[in-house]
Structure 1
Amino acid sequence: MADVTIDLDINASATDVFNYISDYTKCSSYIYGLQHLQPLTELTRGKGAKFEGRVKMGASLESCVEVTEFEEGVHYATQSFKGVKNGMDWTVSPVDDGNAKVRLIWTFDFGSGIAGRTIGKLVEPFIKIAAKQSAEDLKNGIEAGA
Structure 2
Amino acid sequence: MTTHRTPARTSPARRAARAAVAASGWLALAATLLPDGSVPRWPPVLLFVCLGPGLALLHPQPRGLRPGARLESFALAAPLSLALASLAATVLFLLGAFSVPAFLVPLAAFTTVAALLPGLPLPAATRGAAGPARERG
- TM-score normalised to the size of structure 2? 0.30
Larger radius of gyration: 2
Which structure shows the bigger proportion of residues in strand conformation? Answer: 1
Which structure shows the bigger proportion of residues in helix conformation? Answer: 2
